[in-house]
Amino acid sequence: MAKVLMKGNEAVGKAAIEAGCKYFFGYPITPQNEIPEYMAKELPNNDGVFVQAESEVSAINMIYGGAGCGARVMTSSSSPGIALKQEGITYIAGAELPAVIVNMMRGGPGLGGIQPSQADYFMSTRGGGNGDYRTPVYAPATVQEAVDMVMEAFEVADYYRTPVMVVADGMIGQMMEPVEFKAPKKRDLPKKDWATTGTNGERKPNIINSLFLDPQALEDHCFKLDRKYKEIEENEVKYEMYKTEDAELVFVAYGTTSRIVKNTVEALREQGIKAGLIRPITLWPFPHKAFNEIPAAKNLLVVEMSTGQMIDDVKIANEGRLPVDFFGRTGGMIPTPGEIMDKAMEVIGGAK
Amino acid sequence: MAVVFKKTEGLTDKQTHYCPGCTHGIIHRLTAEVLDELGVLGKSIGVAPVGCSVLAYDYFNCDMHEASHGRAPAVATGIKRVQPDKVVFTYQGDGDLCSIGAAEIVHAAARGEKITTIFVNNAIYGMTGGQMAPTTLPGQKATTAPLGRDVDHAGMPIRMSEMLATLDGAVFVERVSVNNPANVRKAKKAIKRAFEVQLEGKGFGIVEVLSTCPTNWGLHPVDSLKWLEENMIPYYQLGNLRNPEEAK
């Protein structure tokens, strides 16, 4: 398929339909409204159904019901809306159902603002709902990656029977870029024989449930989930190493921020400073092993559109080996290459 | 030997956990009998709530989906929109449906979601231990209203069926009771009609069933039936509030 110029949010909607998503339940919130709008327009033409729910809570529970039927389902929202959806996400994780949830992050806390932000890192990677669960989290840096990851998310969701999040920010949702829709590598997906599709009198009833009143049974269930999460950590980690072979100053940044940092790396290299970038593509599982692949590194500098959330994972991955510094803008402010460069100079100076 | 009476296929053999004298068992049975008699058990998907009937998924002999507190109508919406040819129902208590899930039931009804809701109203939170519900009667004692519901403080109880009957999408709304055999028969008739309305594709149907809670009311089961009759029925009047013929 040839490349087409599309707005990020609409491209996400198209990617979902291309991936076989026929059901979208959502609720409007800026800056992701073009996703439900696209689905409302296109799903009926693709033998699918769009329903605008009365709230984010209701939308995610519609997803829970639809996922229980074995269908490919998706919802999208932005930060305060995703906070509301956490209730449903923990149920979907607990009941082991596949679903895709897109978050076009905006500034918070509370109502916050509507400009791009990365302040939902904790909420996404720590399991914002109750209980022992994780969700795979993809963090695209371009509209093309958003498309690829939405498609991949459906495969991962079905393969592991888990909700999967695609976490971008308002910038990616609102920008236009050329994209191509290529089907991801097909996985050997398990049969959905657990789905509530009616027994038709031919099998025992299926029950979709996350309630285990016997604590031993719940512990067994949590350990079973944990084994699945270990498998995901083993197999699904994705990251990019950018000019890190000889890098002495290694940035860590994801999503939109990573694009700005790449420009900064170039600018620093023009000045003879060996800079590089580790870009986590999956925020969970976090690419801990990437931090074993930076032989020349003397400093780590984390850059985020938050007051510092991923820095915790970077410190865990780094295990105290290198000094870790941080630069962040938040509330919808986007860091500039210039100010990142200033921070880089300060960090290098401090290390000398 | 001819079988003149047997357990409905709509229920599993699992023994229920309900307290002695609780009428959930009757309401389960009526719902299950109706699904069985309509011949739709194999294409039915039920949504269980939180609260006393949280384990309903173990008792109904059809595919079941457990929902979080109050969200059963949203879960049922997801199921029905994916599988419009299936029979989808929610089974919810008053805390679940009237309080935390008030938005979900109102909007499922407003959308005319082609599902059936069995709404069990016993005027109290049962599973969590007798706290006040939105349906608790004025003066009725509850653990969070130890002196009885003070309407100046907590407001008047919600008549959910009357509220829902104002919505165009709610094409079948009826309130019934299971306090005596005659009312049990009427309850079954209403439940059957509610499912038929779904099968006819007409819209949302709900049957509110007045039910007892001897444990949390602190009454003997027989006295509970009497209490229901003398206190609940005058406030929550029985009868059909809306049917498809009127809804047109």
User: Complex ipTM, two decimals?
Assistant: 0.96
B32 CB within 8 Å of a chain A CB: no
Chain B partners within 8 Å of A69 (Cβ): 45, 78-79, 82-83
Kind of pairing, strands A275-280 and A239-242?
A: antiparallel
* Residue B78 to residue A23, Cβ atoms within 8 A: yes
Residue A4: beta bridge partners?
A179
Q: Which of A95, A197, A210 sits opposite B83 (nearest CB)?
A: A197
Q: Which of A54, A58, A205 sits opposite B63 (nearest CB)?
A: A205
What are the backbone angles phi and psi of residue A154, rounded to the nearest 5°? -65, -40
pLDDT for residue A351: 47
* Residue A66 to residue B81, Cβ atoms within 8 A: yes
Closest CA to A181 of A222, A140, A148: A148
B77 CB within 8 Å of a chain A CB: yes
Interface of B with A in 90-119 (CB under 8 A): 103-104, 106-107, 111
User: Which residue type sits at A102?
Assistant: V
pLDDT for residue A350: 57
Residue B135: beta bridge partners?
none
Q: Which of B42, B64, B74 sits opposite A62 (nearest CB)?
A: B74
pLDDT tens per residue across span B61-112: 999 999 999 999 999 999 999 999 999 999 999 999 999 999 999 999 999 9
Q: What is the mean pLDDT of residues B48-60?
A: 97
* Residue B65 to residue A63, Cβ atoms within 8 A: no
Q: What is the mean pLDDT of residues B193-220?
A: 98
**Chain A closest CA to B199's CA: distance in Å?**
15
Residue of B nearest to A211 (CA): B66
Chain B partners within 8 Å of A23 (Cβ): 78, 81-82
A198 CB within 8 Å of a chain B CB: yes
pLDDT tens per residue across span B227-244: 999 999 999 999 999 998
Distance, CA of A116 to CA of A30 (rounded, Å): 11
Residue ranges of chain A whose pLDDT lies below 70: 1, 350-352
Cα-based torsion angle of the residue sequence A247, A251, A254, A260 in order, rounded to the nearest 10 degrees: -90
Q: Which of B54, B60, B81 sits opposite A51 (nearest CB)?
A: B81
Distance, CA of A259 to CA of A268 (rounded, Å): 14
pLDDT for residue A352: 45
Rounded alpha-carbon distances, angstroms, from residue A282 to A7, A142, A162, A235: 23, 14, 15, 11
Chain B partners within 8 Å of A63 (Cβ): 78
Chain A partners within 8 Å of B112 (Cβ): none
- Which pTM does this prediction carry? 0.97
pLDDT for residue A127: 80
Which parts of chain A fold into alpha helices (H)? 8-18, 34-42, 56-68, 79-94, 121-125, 143-160, 170-174, 215-235, 255-270, 310-318, 337-351
Closest CA to A119 of A101, A141, A104: A104
User: Which residue type sits at B138?
Assistant: P
A62 CB within 8 Å of a chain B CB: yes
Closest CA to A339 of A245, A252, A257: A257
Retrieve residue B213's tokens.
Answer: 């809670």
* Residue A200 to residue B41, Cβ atoms within 8 A: no
pLDDT for residue B1: 84
**Chain B closest CA to A291's CA: distance in Å?**
41
Q: What is the mean pLDDT of residues B6-35?
A: 97
Q: Which of A61, A73, A197 sits opposite B68 (nearest CB)?
A: A61
* Residue B57 to residue A66, Cβ atoms within 8 A: no
SS3 of residue A304 by DSSP: strand
Distance, CA of B71 to CA of A177 (rounded, Å): 38
What are the backbone angles phi and psi of residue B84, rounded to the nearest 5°? -65, -15
Element (H, E) at B108: helix B102-110
pLDDT for residue B247: 58
pLDDT tens per residue across span B120-157: 999 999 999 999 999 999 999 999 999 999 999 999 99
* Residue B71 to residue A95, Cβ atoms within 8 A: no
pLDDT tens per residue across span A265-291: 999 999 999 999 999 999 999 999 999
* Residue B74 to residue A208, Cβ atoms within 8 A: no
A59 CB within 8 Å of a chain B CB: yes
User: Which residue type sits at B67?
Assistant: A
A67 CB within 8 Å of a chain B CB: yes
**Cis bond before residue A109 (omega within 30° of 0):** yes
Buried b vs exposed e over A68-107: b needs ≥16 C-beta within 10 Å?
bbbbbbbbbbbbbbbbbbbbbbbbbbbbbbbbbbbbbbbb
pLDDT band at B248 (very low <50, low <70, confident <90, very high): low
pLDDT for residue B245: 82
Residue of A nearest to B88 (CA): A198
* Residue B78 to residue A62, Cβ atoms within 8 A: yes
Using the structure block, give the residue that is written with the tokens 């009885």: B148
Distance, CA of B98 to CA of A155 (rounded, Å): 38
To probe the interface with B, which of A64, A101, A214 has the most B CB atoms within 10 Å? A64
Kind of pairing, strands A4-7 and A176-179?
A: antiparallel
Q: Is the pLDDT of residue B190 over 70?
A: yes
Retrieve residue A350's tokens.
Answer: 């401090």
Asked whether A102 and A32 are in contact (CB, 8 A), the reply is: yes
**Chain B closest CA to A51's CA: distance in Å?**
9
